[in-house]
Amino acid sequence: MKLSPAVITLFVATTEAFTVAPTGHGTSKINMIINGETETASEKVASVFSKLPEENAVVDKLVKTNFPGAISNKDLATRVVGLLDEKGFNPSNTLLCTSLCADELARVLEDEFVDIYGNNFNLGGLSGFPFAGNTGFGAMAAHIPDDGFCLLIHGPHVGITKEGQVGKVERSGIALVDNCCGSAIAASNYLQGITNGGAAITPKIQQFSDFQQGAVQELILPFGKRLGRAENRMRELPYALYDSQEVLVTDIVNTGKGGIKKGLAVLGGIQINTSPDTLDYFHPLKFDYYDSDGNLVENMLPYLR
């Protein structure tokens, strides 16, 4: 289902009006694009994942049963980096750009790629929507190294517990098995209230103090019937959110692709968060490559499967 032009216009206009172009998402380490970097991206992948747990066969089966097509973050990074190596991407000439949820669990994938490529420019907010909009993308493009590349990663996220419950996840240091993604579930509940006829009428449709959540709720409206008919609403929810975000990300990229320098790779999909002692997963749904003229020249998604 496509979002209406009015919804897209409202989203882009509002983000341009209220968003200050970000200078990059802070991580637990200071990572920089360093000219003359000698360690290859593939070597960095090996280093990053050597410090993380090995794949857990039980969790792997659980995730892939619920999300067919999902692969571990380790497999994702290995395949993505291998493909981008062939096109000339490396840690010295590549700017990472993400549009992922504000939730700390979304930082797992982000930080893994930061450790490979260096600095990250953050376009995202709640549920992974690109709230920095056209202004943010334009600023990001200006920060790509001369004669360099950008890897843009975007998408919503969803949790799955060790028992296989989708929409919840164990978090480090917290006894409560918590909602994941909380913003997405709140938006889903809001939508369900509308489709079931139980939503209260309120004049406070948008409040600046909770603008992003209000936008997420509006942007999910076209998917009411789809979610209502889903066999598992929590499992379908991130895919509905992705389809909404994909319209916006594509519009933003098409508007700002004149700022692409040597090339742009766009990786879209669903982040799947698991318990703290197991690897996270990603269901890739898009992996496109744009040349220096902004032309879409290759669909690389088949190579990730």
Per-residue pLDDT tens over the stretch 82-93: 999 999 999 999
What pTM does this model have?
Answer: 0.86
Q: How far apart are CA 155 and CA 159, in angstroms?
A: 14
Structure token pair of residue 137: 């993308």
- pLDDT tens, residue by residue, 5-22: 545 554 544 444 434 333
Query: From the CB of residue 231, how many other CB atoms can be counted at a distance below 10 Å?
Result: 6
| pLDDT (0 to 100) of residue 196 | 76
Confidence of residue 197 (pLDDT cuts 50, 70, 90): low
Q: How far apart are CA 236 and CA 228, in angstroms?
A: 10
Beta bridge partners, 224, equal none
- Reduce the DSSP state of residue 228 to 3 states and report it: helix
Query: Which residue blocks in 144-232 are alpha helix, DSSP H?
Result: 182-195, 211-219, 224-229
Q: What is the mean pLDDT of residues 211-237?
A: 94
Confidence of residue 99 (pLDDT cuts 50, 70, 90): very high
Does the pLDDT at position 177 exceed 90?
A: yes
∠ Cα 165 108 139 (to 5°)? 125
Does the pLDDT at position 167 exceed 50?
A: yes
Does the pLDDT at position 195 exceed 50?
A: yes
Does the pLDDT at position 202 exceed 70?
A: no
In angstroms, what CA-CA distances link 148 with 77, 93, 96, 139, 183? Answer: 20, 5, 11, 15, 35
Q: How far apart are CA 279 and CA 160, in angstroms?
A: 12
